[in-house]
A and B are shown apart, each in its own frame.
Chain A
Amino acid sequence: MSVHRVAAITRRLLQGFRRDRRTVALLFVAPIVILGLLGYLMRGSSVPAVGVINQDQGPLGAVVADSLQHSSLVSASAISVTDGDSKLKDGSLVAYVVFPPGFSQSAQSRVIAPEVHVEGTQPSAVAPVLAALQQALASAASRAPGAIRFAPKVTYLYAGAGLDSLDYFGAAAIGLIVFFLVFVITIVSFLNERSQGTLERLMASPLRRGEIVLGYMIGFTVLALIQAVEVLVFCLGVLKVHNDGNVFLIFLIEALMAIVAVNLGIFLSMFARTEFQAVQFIPLVIVPQFLLSGILFPVSSEPSLLQPVSNVLPLTYAVNALRDVMLKGADLSSSSLLLDIGVVTGFVVLLIAAGTATLRRRIA
């Protein structure tokens, strides 16, 4: 083994990187951006919003409610009796707690039974609410002698107690997987089309730019839909991911996501000269979308600085729409679903225009 030859390889490698500033920048900037984002999301995210309805005729309800409002686990505030379900529906509350009229009385019999109403699509949101409630009760109960049993009655607005984390993430993952894979395939194919010279040849033919973009779009959408069928069958049939909605609606959303991904790929392929650089778009385009689209952390609980960013990402709307359909059983009469689908469609139009514009040449 020759040290000289090994050193030559090492040197050659580093010399190449010196000229590829973009790769170097990415190598050192991307980890900070991604970790920073993750840290900000996890530490800066607000605690779940919980409503409190106190109907207790005795004193205990008020004591527990007050203690709950001082809890660091949730952000609790008093709401009126009629507001509960509508606030769960519009997403401004994760849960609300009701202390029924006989709450103090039942505590006398050593059983504390508050009603907990949760939105239900996000299983992980229930735990902190119950923990906060238990803490609040414990501090109130410490004044009462003897053991008291904590027996909350949990009611789910959507889905139910059977929902687990896979149901919550699986619904979103269906959109993410299609988006991610279609994006990668398109950007690499289109880059090949440029680098192997066939795009030049197509440009010298009577083809119109729109025809190229449309042809690509249909081709990859066909592939993506076959993939979507597979993903869906696997998720629903094998993994038994919860679905209350119409399978065709899920398809529609997936198809829209595929079209967004195809056009994003065509558009971004213009900014990459090599496949290597194309792959670099993954940490830049995919990872932030993954973190900010509400897949892991609900957009409403994100730090307020990040929420506007989330609101301009197509994946945010797709994830929301998929969860609406699969976990809440939303159909086309739901205005929230229509809004999501409308926004994703808007992204499709925008990206088709951007993708077409990057295929510049002298003749139309």
Chain B
Amino acid sequence: MSESFAVDVQGVEKRFGGIKALDGVTLQVRKGEIYGLLGPNGAGKTTLIRAIVGLVAPDAGTVTVLGRKLPNLDVLRDVGYMTQQAALYPGLSVEENLRFFAAIYGVEDGVQAALELVDLDKRKDSVVATISGGMRQRCSLAVALVHRPHLLLLDEPTVGVDPQLRVQFWDYFRRMADSGTTIIVSSHVMDEAERCQRLGLIQYGRLLAEGSPADIRAQAGTQNLEAAFLALAGEKEA
């Protein structure tokens, strides 16, 4: 049954000390869709993404990625992960960073395509320490997709990115989804949420609501997502 889902999370719980970061999260992401994880800071979005990429071991529940139950090292070959921070080697050039990660995944021929996708082809020889934050973010995205993953996990990829670049990023995501890549993207920016096919609202480590942006609005009986989010979050808290 989980064959039709790219990601199948069942009842995942995770505690850090006394804090429940994930409190029984169940969600399924279909193949080829852009799924938005929406929630305030500290809601558990990053922990959930890290659980899907195998960096966090759940205290309870299971995570199945691309039909394989974690922990599974091989499945990571088909997963791309972009962290909040542009995790790159500052002393290497853009291209050298890409070549390094491509070599780790054993797909060195993907470098040029990744450079072109994020429009860094002309700046590929620039050393990462010397380029702008926006370019670094683009390079970080290129690293996450250099091995042409079937599943791409993006943890707040547009934080600190100007509106122009943000539009560009969503254009990249769209193109990737169209070519069959499943994308899970976390955000707390509501206008980004509108661009996702489905949304999961997370707060206090729980999934509050799930559905298309239109579904969510209807559920809350509001005109826009921001109001819907606040209404749904407030409801659960009360």
Contacts and interface: CB of A to CB of B under 8 A. Distances in A.
Contacts of A205: 76, 101, 104-105
B72 A363 contact: yes
Nearest to B83: A197
Interface stretch (B85-93, B118-126, B179-187): B85-93
Interface string B136-170: 00000001000000000000000000000000000
A204 B104 contact: no
A200 B83 contact: yes
Interface in A181-207: 196-198, 200-207
A302 B227 CA distance: 75
A201 B73 contact: no
A361 B56 CA distance: 7
B24 interface: no
The A contact surface, by secondary structure, is loop
A204 B105 contact: no
A12 interface: no
B87 A197 contact: yes
Contact of A204 (B74, B76, B90): B76
B87 A206 contact: no
Given A201-B101, A204-B54, A205-B105, A363 B89 contact: no
B192 to A, nearest CB: 22
Contacts of A201: 81, 83, 87, 101, 143
Contact of B71 (A202, A208, A362): A362
Interface string B13-56: 00000000000000000000000000000000000000001111
A29 interface: no
Nearest to B71: A363
Interface size class of B (residues with CB under 8 A): 20 to 34
Contacts of B55: 200, 203-204, 361-362
A202 B104 contact: yes
A161 to B, nearest CB: 51
A364 interface: yes
A312 B50 CA distance: 40
A203 B55 CA distance: 7
A362 B56 contact: yes
A196 to B, nearest CB: 6
Contacts of B101: 201, 205
Contacts of B83: 197, 200-201
A363 B73 contact: yes
B6 to A, nearest CB: 16
A204 B56 CA distance: 10
A89 B83 CA distance: 60
A46 B79 CA distance: 64
A36 to B, nearest CB: 37
A278 B81 CA distance: 28
Contacts of B53: 204
Contacts of B76: 204-206, 363
Nearest to A361: B55
Interface in B188-206: none
A272 B105 CA distance: 29
Interface string A343-364: 0000000000000000001111
A364 B76 CA distance: 12
Interface in B54-91: 54-57, 70-74, 76-77, 79, 81, 83, 85-90
23 contacts: A196-B87, A196-B90, A197-B83, A200-B55, A200-B87, A202-B104, A203-B55, A204-B53, A204-B55, A204-B79, A205-B76, A205-B101, A206-B73, A206-B104, A208-B73, A361-B54, A361-B55, A362-B55, A362-B56, A362-B57, A363-B70, A363-B73, A364-B73
Interface of A: 196-198, 200-208, 361-364
